[in-house]
Amino acid sequence: MQNKGDIEIIGNEEGGNSEGFAEDREAGRRNEIGSNQKNVKQKNIELERMKQLVELLNEASKAYYAQDREIMSNQEYDSLYDELSALENKTGVILAGSPTVNVGYEAVDELPKERHESPMLSLDKTKSREDLRDWLQGNPAVLSWKLDGLTIVLTYRDGRLEKAVTRGNGEIGEVITNNARTFVNLPLNISFQGELVLRGEAVISYSDFEKINREIEDVEARYKNPRNLCSGSVRQLNNEITAKRNVRFYAFSLVSAEGADFHNSREEQFAFLEEQGFEAVEHYAVTEDNILDVIGLFEKKIEGYDIPSDGLVLTYENIAYGQSLGRTAKFPRHSIAFKWADEMRETTLKEIEWSASRTGLINPVAIFEPVELEGTTVSRASVHNISILKGLKLGLGDRITVYKANMIIPQIAENLTRSDSLEIPESCPVCGGRTEIRQVNEVQSLYCTNEECPAKRIKAFTLFVSRDAMNIDGLSEATLEKFIDRGFLHEYADLFHLDKYKEQIVEMEGFGEKSYRNLTDSIDRARNTTLPRLIYSLGIANIGAANAKMLCKYFDYDLKQMQDADVETLSAIDGVGEVIASAFVEYMRDGDNLRRLETLLGELQIEVPVVTEGSQTLSGLSFCITGSLNHFASRNDLKELIEQKGGKVTGSVTGKTTCLVNNDVTSSSSKNKKAKELGVAILSEEDFMKQYGLQADGS
C-alpha cells in the first residue's frame, strides 16, 4: 500500500532554479505532513484512552448503583473521572455514554420524516475480483468493509450533534437524533466547529446480538439476524430501548466539512473523522498491484469478524476525479460494491422436514446430502415458506446448489432439476390434523389448524415454564415432550399434579428420586408468582414479558379489569397498539382459554405489589402527555410519577382521558385537536401539577 508520505514529484521545467524551489516546497510539505501525522497520532492515543475511561467508569457505576458492589474506591473513580474530563476539554470530543454527560431518555409519538439534501444512491455491484481491479483503471482507491446495518446521516454544528437521519428510501429518511445520542461509540461533541455532515452504518455486533437473544426464553420470539434487530432498535420511539441494544456507529463517508481542506484525498477524510472521535470502517489504500492481496486480507477476517458485513466498498482516492465521473440513474460512479462470491456446492435433496411451532406455523426445512461449505459440513437449510418452496420447484432427488448467505446461513441457491414434484402435506406431521395455506402480504405459509396439536402444546409448555414466565427448572423441551406423549400433561394446571405420575417419572431415563424431588420443589415454588409472569406464560400472540408487565401495571394488577377491557381501551395504552390489543382480547374472549385459565388460577398464589395507603391520589384517572417539559427531564419521568400515584398514562387521547398535558396549550397538534373534539381538558405542565398537587421531586 502506498504510504501517505510517498508523494510523487513532477518537476517544473520552467525557470533556472525551479528544481530547487520544487525540492524546497516538497521538503516543507513533507515536514507539514509529518507534523500533522504526529498530531493525529497523539490525538488517536488520547481518544483511545477516553474510550477506556468511559468503559471503566460506567462499569464502576453499574457495579456500585445496580449490583451493590465496589470495583474501585471513590478516590480512584474521581481521579479517572477528572482525567476523562480533562481529555474531553483538550480534544473537544465527548463520547456517547460518557459519565460527564447525561443523554436522558425520551419517548416520541412518531419519527419525523426529512428529505435528504442529495439522494442517497445504491452502489453498483460485482462479485468478480478481477472486475474490481479493472474498475480502478490505474487509479489509487480506498477499500473498506460494506457493513450490514442501517445507514445514518449525521449533522454536527458548532461541535455538537444536531441531527441524525436514516437513509429511508434514499430520498426521505426518519429523524432519529435522540436515538443516535445513545449509540455507544458516537461522539456527541467534536472539536471541529464548522458544519460537518457524514454518513455511516449503525450496527449491532454478532456477540451483542447473541447475548440479547440468549435473554429471550421463547425461541420463536428471538430476533432473526443482527440487521433486523439493529433496524428496529435505531427506529424506536423510546430511545431508552435503543440504549439497551448496544448500537454502534461506523463512519464510511464524509459528505461535507465546512472550510476544511482534505487535499483531494479520501484517506485524509478518514483520518479527519477518526481525529474527531468517530470510529471509521476498516479501510486500506489499494492500487491495481495490491488490491487482490487486500481482498484476501478481508476474506481471512470475515469468518471471525464480529460486525455484520456483506461485502466491501471500493472508492476512488482522488475525490475530484470520482465526482467528475458523475452518476447513472441508479448509481454514483465514484464507488463500487464487492459482494463475496458465495462458495457453491452441488448436492441432492433427500427430504423436506416440516417443523411445527406453537403458533401453528409449519416451516419447510430442506435435508440434503452433506457438503463442505466455508469450512463446515452442512446438510440442512430452511426454505422459509411455501412461496419460496414453490418458486424453487423442488422435488425429492433433485440436484440443488447450496451456499452460506453472508458466509453464515445455509441456503438453497438453485434447483437444477426443477421436478416440481414435492407435495405439500395436507395434514400436520405432528398431529395429523388438517393443514391450510395462509397468505399474508403476498407470502404463503403453511399452518396446522388443530388447536390441540402436540407440537403447539410442547412449544406452549416450553414457554410456560421458561425463566421469565413460571420459572420452573428441570423441564426441558425434550422432557415436556415425553410428559405430553405419556398423557401427563394436557393443560398448564396439570404441571402442578405430576405427583400422580411419580412412579412412572422416577423410572424414566434421566430421572430418579433426586431429580423428581428437585422438579416438584421447583413446581411448588412456582405456585407463588406474579400477574405479569402469568400473563406472559399464557403465550398470547405478540405479548412478551415487557408487554405483560406494562399491561398489569396499567390495570393495577387486576386480572378482571384486564379481561373486561376492549380493543380500544387496550390500544390507547402507551406502547400497546391495536395488534397486541386485538390478540389479548381474542384470547380472553375464548371460552376454552378462560376455562383453562380459571383452572390454573386455582393452583397459584398471585402476589400483588403493595401500595402505600393514601399515595394513590390519581387512582382512576387517565392522562396523555405530549411536547417538551420544564420540570421533568423527560415525559417518562412524569409518566412514572403519575403511575406511582395510581394514575394511568396513554399514548393517545380518548374519551376516557382525564386531561392532556401540553405546555403549548394553543398548538394545532393532532392531540390538541382530538382533545378539543372530545372535550378533554388541555393543561400546561404547571397547571397540571397545581391541580393535582404534584411536585417534580415525586412528592
**What does the longest C-alpha to C-alpha distance in the chain come to?**
109
Which residue among 146, 404, 459, 639 is the active-site one?
146
Query: How is 326-395 classified by DSSP, letter by letter?
Result: -B-SS-BSSEEEE---PPPEEEEEEEEEEEE-TTSEEEEEEEEEEEEETTEEEEEEE--SHHHHHHHT--
Question: Beta strands 622-625 and 648-650: pairing type?
Answer: parallel
Query: How is 16-36 classified by DSSP, letter by letter?
Result: TTHHHHHHHHHHHHHHHHHHH
Residues 6 or more apart in contact with residue 400 via CB below 8 angstroms: 346, 347, 348, 349, 366, 368, 392, 394, 412, 413, 414, 415, 416, 417
Which has the closest alpha carbon to 314: 167, 169, 170, 126?
126
Which has the closest alpha carbon to 671: 627, 622, 620, 621?
627
Residues 6 or more apart in contact with residue 577 via CB below 8 angstroms: 571
- Look up residue 621 and give its amino acid: L
Residues 6 or more apart in contact with residue 10 via CB below 8 angstroms: none
Query: How is 380-415 classified by DSSP, letter by letter?
Result: EEE--SHHHHHHHT--TT-EEEEEEETTTEEEEEEE
Q: What is the DSSP letter of 665?
A: T
Q: Is 673 a catalytic residue?
A: no
CB neighbour class for 284 (10 Å; exposed up to 12, middle 13-18, buried from 19): middle
C-alpha cell at 301: 477476517
C-alpha cell at 294: 487486500
Q: Residue 152 CB: number of other CB atoms within 10 A? A: 25
Which residue is associated with the grid cell 423436506?
352
Question: Beta strands 399-405 and 345-356: pairing type?
Answer: antiparallel
Helix (H, G, I), strand (E, B) or coil at 534: helix
Distances (CA, A) of 604 to 228, 526, 574, 609, 689: 38, 8, 29, 16, 40
- Paired with 683 in beta bridges are 661
What backbone torsions phi and psi does residue 152 show, to the nearest 5 degrees?
-125, 140
Which has the closest alpha carbon to 461: 436, 438, 433, 493?
493
C-alpha cell at 226: 443482527
- Report, in this order, helix, strand and coil percent for the chain, each rounded to 5: 40, 20, 40
Describe the strand order of the beta sheet including 141-147 as a list of residue ranges: 125-126, 335-338, 309-316, 141-147, 283-286
- Paired with 387 in beta bridges are none
Instruction: Please give the torsion angle defined by the CA atoms of residues 680, 686, 688 and 689, in that order, rounded to the nearest 10 degrees.
Output: 170
- Paired with 355 in beta bridges are 363
Spatial separation of the C-alpha atoms in residues 699 and 686, rounded to whole Å: 15
Spatial separation of the C-alpha atoms in residues 551 and 576, rounded to whole Å: 8
- Look up residue 261 and give its amino acid: D
Contact 663, 689 (CB under 8 A): no
Spatial separation of the C-alpha atoms in residues 526 and 510, rounded to whole Å: 22
Q: Active-site positions?
A: 146
